[in-house]
Amino acid sequence: MSATIKSLRTMKLGFAAAFAVLFVIATVACLSVIATHAITPWTFAVIMLDGISSLLIVGLTGWMTLRDLNARRSAEIALRYREERTRLLIEGVQDYAIFLLDPQGTVVSWNAGAQRIKGYTAAEIVGKNFSRFYPQEDIDQGKPEQELRIAAADGRCEAERWRVRKDGSRFWSKMVITAARSPSGALLGFSEISHDITERNERDVKYRGLLEAAPDAMVVVNEAGEILLLNLQAQKQFGYHSDELIGQQVKHIIPEGFAERLISDGTRSAAEALAQQIGTGIELRGHRKDGSDFPIEIMLSPLASSEGTLVTAAIRDISVRKDAEALLLKTVGELKRSNDELKHFAYVASHDLQEPLRMVASYTQLLAKRYRGKLDSDADEFIAYAVDGCNRMQQMIRDLLTYSSAGSGEIALQAVSSELALHVALANLRVAVEESGALVSHDSLPIVTTDDTQLTQVFQNLIGNAIKYRGSGVPRIHVSARTDGGKQRIFSVRDNGMGIDPQYFDRIFGLFQRLHGRGEFAGTGIGLSICKKILERLGGRIWVESQLNQGSTFHFALPDEGVSA
């Protein structure tokens, strides 16, 4: 500024001095003329007037010139002030490097941000070429000149790239180089504004890494429904290359209608999102590039970013699971059908077969009743066998019906006193207990979560067997219970009966399996199979410990979680 103001001041002084010198010269000249030449006062007056007018003209001209100079001076001051203010502002910016280059790329100005980011002071860098901010490989490729050419041609050049600090370290920079031109269009130079985004870049790289590491297809969508980012898995799943999808509407790959929902659901506030449970999987169909589609499950999560709220959609191809589910359903359906057939078979066997059998039995019995002793002894024997056969067959059919219906109804799980169930079983067996003189004892038995009717049935069958297959002495039966790791109850029914040869342990639980002749013991051999069926249905099991002639102990386990001893 000072140069212009100084010259103005000099000009003012100059005019004043010139005016004074002219006045003095004119006066001296007049006086000398009067003194040396005898001239008339008129002549003198004319000369004086001429001199004064000349002086006035010179003074007026000088004054006007001075006034004009003052106005120009004020405009220049204002401009200078504005420039100064901008300069100070720019110089003070810390977060951005802002500097000017001449048309050749030489640094002509430098701000605090540039010093902070790049590490050079203004004194160190002004006058040097800006190419030193580029890594060597970029310099080798002529990047600095190239970017200036682009800025000169297009007005600006934007880039994200590695830059080098004074100490040689690198940082990831986002930069804009803008060309500065005079009103006539001559290139005056360039300005560069750049920013260190290393941290943001690292965050992006980490996020990207996270996306790529995900086992699912990951697609990031903005509020306009445009795909911003997708991982390799997404490209594989949908059959597109990343370039074909970025910037496209997400509805290309997931059903229309849902895409909108994805965005509206995904961009809810965190609180709303929680309330709406947007994170839960939603099953849909995804569209591949080749036009085929496949079942998908989508999990959404909102992501607040500088670009607004984004939605990250994790898209899982659930074809395999769907196929497995379909197979499972089919298998379950087949099982159910075969189970229904079996039930029907059991009904046919037990009910429809019973009808003709009832006829056979009734009429052989009628024969026996009416003609016993009236025919010969062979006839009596034959009829007796026919009657016996019918009776056994009827018993087996009844037992089969009992077996097929055992545990086929609803299981009513509830807290049950196993001790009470035992007492009910003993009441049902009262006659057998009294006739055999059996002594039945038991420990304190726990409350269990099970079906009381079925538990009673198991106790009844086991104690009934213990009485039936008793030894030579008084039958002694003891019932006890213990827990096994808190996960199940194990009940034991111990007797002093005839015992079982261990080789038959598996066989005795089979349907209609008997170890004794019919002459020795009644029954079809259904009791233990019913116990096994009931216990397996309740999630438990049954097994036996025994030695021939040394009594038997039947154990059964019932699942019993959460019930304390």
Partner 1 sequence: MSESTAMRSEAIEVLLVEDSPGDVRLTREALKDAKVHISLHVATDGIEAMAYLQRTGSHVNAPRPDLILLDLNLPKKDGREVLREIKESPSLRIIPVVILTTSSSDADVSQSYHLHANCYISKPVDLDGFLKVVHSIDNFWLSVVKLPRS
| SS3 of residue 523 by DSSP | coil
Q: Minimal distance in Å, beta carbon 394 to partner 1? A: 6
Q: Minimal distance in Å, beta carbon 453 to partner 1? A: 16
Q: Which residue of 63, 81, 345, 363 would you call a contact of partner 1, by CB under 8 A?
A: 363
- Comparing CB distances to partner 1, the nearer of 22 and 353 is 353
Q: Work out whether the CA dihedral 7, 12, 15, 21 comes out positive or negative.
A: negative
Say whether residue 361 binds partner 1 (CB under 8 A).
yes
Contacts of 137 (CB under 8 A, 6+ apart): none
Say whether residue 351 binds partner 1 (CB under 8 A).
yes
Distance CA(132)–CA(114), nearest Å, equals 13
Candidates 87-95, 288-296, 314-322, 355-363; binding stretch for partner 1 (CB under 8 A): 355-363
Candidates 177-185, 358-366, 483-491, 516-524; binding stretch for partner 1 (CB under 8 A): 358-366
Candidates 50-58, 337-345, 347-355, 526-534; binding stretch for partner 1 (CB under 8 A): 347-355
The residues in 48-67 that bind partner 1, with binding defined as CB under 8 A, are: none
Q: Minimal distance in Å, beta carbon 410 to partner 1? A: 14
CA 529 to chain centre: 50
Q: Minimal distance in Å, beta carbon 369 to partner 1? A: 7
Other beta carbons less than 10 A from residue 110's beta carbon: 22
Are the beta carbons of 134 and 164 closer than 8 angstroms? yes
Nearest to 532 by CA among 510, 560, 504: 510
487-to-302, 483, 534, 562 alpha-carbon distances in Å: 43, 7, 19, 8
Q: Which residue of 208, 369, 482, 518 would you call a contact of partner 1, by CB under 8 A?
A: 369
Q: Minimal distance in Å, beta carbon 219 to partner 1? A: 57
CA quadruple 123, 129, 132, 137: dihedral, nearest 10: 180
Residues 451-490: x/- map of binding to partner 1 (CB under 8 A)? ----------------------------------------
Are the beta carbons of 120 and 114 closer than 8 angstroms? yes
Which residues on neighbouring strands pair with residue 193, listed in sequence order? Answer: 98, 176
Integer distance in angstroms from the first to the last C-alpha of the chain? 99
Say whether residue 348 binds partner 1 (CB under 8 A).
no
Amino acid identity of residue 410, one-letter, is E
- Comparing CB distances to partner 1, the nearer of 205 and 359 is 359
Q: Minimal distance in Å, beta carbon 522 to partner 1? A: 16
Say whether residue 365 binds partner 1 (CB under 8 A).
yes
Q: Which residue of 248, 354, 417, 453 would you call a contact of partner 1, by CB under 8 A?
A: 354
The residues in 389-408 that bind partner 1, with binding defined as CB under 8 A, are: 391, 394
Q: Minimal distance in Å, beta carbon 511 to partner 1? A: 21
Candidates 7-15, 148-156, 364-372, 423-431; binding stretch for partner 1 (CB under 8 A): 364-372
Q: Minimal distance in Å, beta carbon 400 to partner 1? A: 14
Number of residues that bind partner 1 (CB under 8 A): 14
- Comparing CB distances to partner 1, the nearer of 81 and 385 is 385
Nearest to 497 by CA among 462, 528, 530, 525: 462
| 564 backbone dihedrals φ, ψ, rounded to 5° | -80, 160
Q: Which residue of 366, 375, 413, 474 would you call a contact of partner 1, by CB under 8 A?
A: 366
Contacts of 184 (CB under 8 A, 6+ apart): none
Q: Minimal distance in Å, beta carbon 351 to partner 1? A: 8
Candidates 1-9, 75-83, 291-299, 365-373; binding stretch for partner 1 (CB under 8 A): 365-373
Say whether residue 428 binds partner 1 (CB under 8 A).
no
Nearest to 402 by CA among 226, 301, 524: 524
Say whether residue 362 binds partner 1 (CB under 8 A).
yes
Q: What are the tokens at 353?
A: 């077969």
Cα angle: 516, vertex 519, 521; to 5 degrees: 55
Q: Minimal distance in Å, beta carbon 338 to partner 1? A: 23
- Comparing CB distances to partner 1, the nearer of 354 and 483 is 354
Say whether residue 359 binds partner 1 (CB under 8 A).
yes
Say whether residue 410 binds partner 1 (CB under 8 A).
no
3-state secondary structure string, 33-64? HHHHCCCCHHHHHHHHHHHHHHHHHHHHHHHH
Say whether residue 516 binds partner 1 (CB under 8 A).
no
Say whether residue 355 binds partner 1 (CB under 8 A).
yes
Are the beta carbons of 417 and 444 closer than 8 angstroms? no
| SS3 of residue 330 by DSSP | helix
Nearest to 262 by CA among 247, 291, 243, 284: 284
Q: Work out whether the CA dihedral 33, 35, 37, 40 comes out positive or negative.
A: positive
Interface with partner 1 by CB under 8 A: which residues? 351, 354-355, 357-359, 361-363, 365-366, 369, 391, 394
